[in-house]
A and B are shown apart, each in its own frame.
Chain A
Amino acid sequence: NAGVTQTPKFQVLKTGQSMTLQCAQDMNHEYMSWYRQDPGMGLRLIHYSVGAGITDQGEVPNGYNVSRSTTEDFPLRLLSAAPSQTSVYFCASSYSRASAYEQYFGPGTRLTVT
């Protein structure tokens, strides 16, 4: 199993550009989530999904959209990038809602918005 994969590893955007961060898992996990990590802030939850077709907001959802059309994929979309979205983004997944708390993390995407 590849586990949780994220692409790209690095990305530089200009303010106002849009892009999609990809996340995929091959463990048949129901629960998937996106976090951003900023220095001195720990990880903050952006959006999460408890299954295909179901998504909900986390702590810092503004400026980000998600969808979950399949169990495997959970892309994160930035519609109009802002410098405040410069961060490292982590995708995570876990087996089921009941055990949604033990999460497996991807390697991260480092995004810079200029």
Chain B
Amino acid sequence: AQSVTQPDIHITVSEGASLELRCNYSYGATPYLFWYVQSPGQGLQLLLKYFSGDTLVQGIKGFEAEFKRSQSSFNLRKPSVHWSDAAEYFCAVVQGGSEKLVFGKGTKLTVNP
């Protein structure tokens, strides 16, 4: 079965520190990959996506992610975290040709001053 795993339920970092959120997927074919962010009480906003081509993709708010086929991973990174980045982050995957977007269970990010 298709699945998306975000191993870290909750991560705490200090403001200004670097960040990496992990995402692993299990699919047979090349997937389309996404990271969404959800601020408290809000809907989801797309941070970035990977369909094909360059495996390092840039997104909004200074985030980037790298697709590594050999590791079935699509980890999200940011060099220096801001207090406003505190939110919940969701990795999502869809298999080519499918209409169904499958979400991971999310990683909640806390930023300490």
Q: Interface residues, chain A, CB within 8 Å of chain B?
A: 4, 31, 33, 35, 40-45, 48, 50, 56, 58-59, 90, 92, 97, 100-108
Q: Which residue of B lies closest to A50 (CB)?
A: B99
Using a CB–CB cutoff of 8 Å, the interface residues on chain B facing chain A are 4, 9, 32, 34, 36, 42-46, 49, 90, 94, 99-106
Tell whether, in the assembled complex, residue B45 and residue A105 are in contact, meaning their CB atoms are under 8 Å apart. yes
Q: A101 vs B105: C-alpha distance in the bound complex, in angstroms?
A: 18
* Interchain CB contact under 8 A, B100 and A59: yes
A48 touching B100, Cβ below 8 Å: yes
- Cβ of A56: which chain B residues have Cβ within 8 Å of it? 99
Tell me if A's interface is mostly helix, strand, loop or mixed: strand
Residue of B nearest to A108 (CB): B43
- List 14 A-B residue pairs with CB atoms under 8 Å apart, sorted by A's residue number: A31-B99, A40-B105, A42-B90, A44-B103, A45-B102, A58-B100, A90-B43, A92-B44, A100-B99, A101-B32, A101-B101, A102-B49, A103-B101, A105-B43
Whole-angstrom CA separation of A108 from B46 in the bound complex: 16
User: Ordered nearest first, which 9 A-B pairs have the shortest CB separation?
Assistant: A105-B43, A42-B103, A42-B105, A43-B103, A105-B44, A101-B94, A107-B43, A101-B32, A42-B106
Q: Which residue of A lies closest to B43 (CB)?
A: A105
A103 to B45, CA, bound (A): 9
Would you call A45 and B90 a contact (CB within 8 A)?
no
Q: Return chain A residues, CB-CB under 8 Å to B36.
A: 105
Residue of A nearest to B49 (CB): A102
Tell me the complex Cα distance, A45–B98, Å.
13
Q: For the complex, what is the distance from the CA of A90 to the CA of B36, rounded to whole Å?
A: 14
* Chain B residue at minimal CB-CB distance from A90: B43
Q: With A58-B100, A101-B32, A101-B49 given, is the CB distance from A41 to B105 under 8 Å? A: yes
Is there an interface contact between A90 and B44, defined as CB atoms closer than 8 Å?
A: yes
